[in-house]
Chains A and B, each alone.
Chain A
Amino acid sequence: MEEGAVVAEGLTKRYGDFTAVDGINLTVKRGEIYGLLGPNGAGKTTTVRMLTTLTQITSGNAWVNGYSVREEPLLVKRSIGLVPDVSNLYDELTVEENLLFAARLYNAPIERVRELIREFDLPANKKFGKLSSGFKRRTTIAAALVHRPEVLFMDEPTTALDVSSARNVRNLIRLLNKEGITVFITTHNMIDAESLPHRIGIIKEGKIIAEGKGRELKELMGKGMVVKLLVEPITSKLINEIEAYSPTFDEGFIVVTVEDVDEFLEELFDLKMRLGFKVKRISTELPTIEDVFVELTERNGCSCGGCPL
Chain B
Amino acid sequence: MKILVIAEKELKEYILKPGSISWGIIFPLVFTLAFAVRFGDVDHLAPGLMSISILFGTTSFVSSSIIFERRLRTFERLLVAPVKRVEIVGAKILVGTLFGLFVGAVSFLILRLFMAYRVWNPLLLITFMFVSGTAFSGLALWVSLRVENPINAMTWLNLIRLPMIFTSGAIVSLLLFPHWFIVVGLITPMTYAVDGMRYAMLGYYDVINPIYDLLVTVLLSMLFTYLSVEELRRLY
Residues of A bordering B, CB below 8 Å: 52-56, 74-75, 77-78, 80, 82, 84, 86-93, 97, 101-102, 104-106
Contact = CB atoms under 8 A, between A and B. Distances in A.
A92 B84 contact: no
B13 interface: yes
Given A55-B236, A56-B236, A105-B2, A88 B73 contact: yes
Nearest to A128: B74
Nearest to B77: A88
A88 B74 contact: yes
Contacts of A102: 77, 81
Closest 6 CB pairs of A and B: A88-B77, A77-B82, A78-B82, A105-B81, A104-B5, A92-B13
A104 B82 CA distance: 11
B30 interface: no
Contact of A86 (B5, B13, B73, B236): B73
Contacts of B73: 84, 86-88
Interface in B1-25: 2, 5-6, 9, 12-13
Interface residues of B, number: 19
Contacts, number: 59
Centre residue among A52, A75, A84, A105 by max chain B CB count within 10 A: A105
Contacts of B172: none
Interface string B68-89: 0000111011111111100000
Given A104-B5, A105-B5, A89 B74 contact: yes
Interface string B33-53: 000000000000000000000
Contacts of B2: 104-105
Contact of A93 (B5, B9, B80): B9
A53 B73 CA distance: 15
A14 B80 CA distance: 21
Nearest to A79: B82
A27 B74 CA distance: 29
Contacts of B236: 54-56
Nearest to A74: B82
Nearest to B16: A92
Nearest to A82: B80
Interface string B144-185: 000000000000000000000000000000000000000000
Contact of B72 (A75, A78, A91): A91
Contacts of B6: 105
Contacts of A88: 73-74, 76-77, 80
A73 B14 CA distance: 29
Given A56-B236, A93-B9, A74 B84 contact: yes
Contact of B80 (A56, A77, A91, A97): A77
12 contacts: A77-B80, A82-B80, A84-B76, A87-B73, A88-B76, A89-B74, A91-B72, A97-B12, A102-B81, A105-B2, A105-B77, A105-B83
Contacts of B76: 54, 84, 88
Contacts of A56: 236
Contact of A54 (B72, B74, B79, B84): B79
B72 A53 contact: no
Contacts of A52: 80
Nearest to B87: A105
Contacts of A104: 2, 5
B20 to A, nearest CB: 13
A90 B9 contact: yes
A102 B76 CA distance: 12
A52 B80 CA distance: 7
B40 to A, nearest CB: 44
A93 B82 contact: no
A16 B83 CA distance: 29
A52 B77 CA distance: 11
A169 B144 CA distance: 37
A237 to B, nearest CB: 52
Nearest to B80: A82
A106 B82 CA distance: 7
Contacts of A75: 82
Nearest to B6: A105
A86 B77 CA distance: 11
